[in-house]
Amino acid sequence: MAIKKLKASVISKISAGEVVERPASVVKELLENSVDASAQSVGIDILGSGLDQIKVSDDGSGIPTSEVELVFARHATSKLNSEADLESIRTLGFRGEALASIAAVSRVELVTRFSAEDTGVRLQLVDGILKDRKSVGVPPGTVIQVDNLFYNVPPRLKFLKSESTERSLAKRVVSRYAMAYPHIRFSFVSDNRKGFRTYGNGNLLDVITSVYGSDVAENMVEISDVEQDGIVVSGLVSSPELSRSNRQEITFFINGRHIYDAQLNFAIMRAYHTMLMTGRYPIAVISLVIPPSKLDVNVHPTKSEVRFVDKNIVFQAVEKAVRRTLLDYVSKSTMIKSASVGETLSQASSWSELDTSDRKHDFSVAEDQLINSRLSGMEMPVLRVIGQTNAAFIIAEGPDGVYMIDQHAAHERILYEEYVDAAKMDELRSQMLLQALTVQLAAEDSETLSNNLDKLTTLGFDIEYFGNDSFIVRAVPAIVDSSDIEEVLMSIVKYRSDDLYGVPEWSEDQIIKRVCRLVAVRAGKVLSYDEQVDLLRNLETCKSPGTCPHGRPTMIYFSLGSIRNQFGR
3-class secondary structure, 394: strand
CB-count exposure of residue 531 (10 Å: 0-12, 13-18, 19+): middle
Rounded CA separation 462/312 (Å): 31
- What 3-state class would DSSP assign to 276? coil
For residue 366, what pLDDT is reported?
45
Alpha helices in 431-507 (DSSP H): 443-450, 453-458, 485-494
Superfamily of domain 8-199 in CATH is Histidine kinase-like ATPase, C-terminal domain (3.30.565.10)
- Cβ atoms < 10 Å from Cβ of 2: 3
CA nearest neighbour of 266 among 335, 315, 208, 205 = 315
User: What is the distance between the alpha carbons of residues 451 and 459, in angstroms, rounded to a whole number?
Assistant: 15
| Nearest CA among 449, 519, 525 for reference residue 484 | 519
Q: What is the DSSP letter of 484?
A: G
Q: What does DSSP assign to residue 127?
A: T
The crossing angle, in degrees rounded to 10, of helices 365-374 and 311-341 is 140
Chosen CATH of 219-323 out of 2.40.160.20, 2.60.40.3140, 3.30.230.10, 2.40.40.20: 3.30.230.10
Label the pairing between strands 41-47 and 185-190. parallel
- The residue ranges of every structural domain in the chain are 8-199, 219-323, 342-569
Count CB-CB contacts under 10 A for residue 177: 25
Query: CA-CA distances (angstroms) from residue 187 to 33, 92, 190, 256, 519?
Result: 16, 20, 10, 19, 54
- Residue segments in the chain with a per-residue pLDDT below the cut of 50: 14, 17, 80, 85-86, 334-371, 373-374, 377, 497-505
pLDDT, residue 144, reads: 95
Report the alpha-carbon distance of residue 143 to residue 110 in Å, rounded.
6
Q: How far is CA 417 from CA 365, 424, 519, in A?
A: 32, 11, 14
Closest by CA to 454, choosing from 444, 445, 465, is 465
In this predicted structure, what is the pLDDT of residue 302? 55
> Top-level CATH class of 342-569?
alpha beta
How far is it, in rounded angstroms, from Cα 215 to Cα 67?
47
Strand partners for 289:
232
Phi and psi dihedrals of 259, rounded to 5? -135, 160
What pLDDT is attached to residue 304? 63
Residue 305: count of CB within 10 angstroms of its CB: 14
Q: Are 275 and 551 in contact (CB under 8 A)?
A: yes
Burial 136-171 (b: 16+ CB within 10 A, else e): eebebbbbbbbbebbebeeebeeebeeeeebbbbbb
pLDDT tens, position by position, 197-232 = 999 999 999 999 988 888 889 999 999 888 888 899
Handedness of CA 114, 117, 120, 125 (dihedral sign): negative
CA-CA distance, 102 to 107, in Å (whole number)? 9
Reported pTM: 0.62
| Spatial separation of the C-alpha atoms in residues 384 and 352, rounded to whole Å | 13
Contact 34, 58 (CB under 8 A): yes
393 beta partners: 389, 406
pLDDT score of 360: 37
**pLDDT score, position 227:** 87
Note every long-range contact of 119-128, with CB atoms under 8 Å and residues 24 or more positions apart, other chains counting.
Answer: 119/65, 120/62, 120/65, 121/65, 121/68, 123/68, 123/69, 123/72, 125/72, 127/9, 127/103, 127/152, 128/9, 128/12, 128/72, 128/100, 128/103, 128/104
Residues 485, 5: Cα–Cα separation, whole Å? 65
Residue 516's nearest CA partner among 392, 423, 446, 405 is 423
CB proximity list for 468: less than 8 A, separation 6 or greater: none
24 contacts: CB under 8 Å, gap ≥ 6? 50, 166, 169, 170, 172, 173
Nearest alpha-carbon partner for 379 in 360, 408, 399, 356: 399
Angstrom distance (rounded) from CA 398 to CA 540: 12
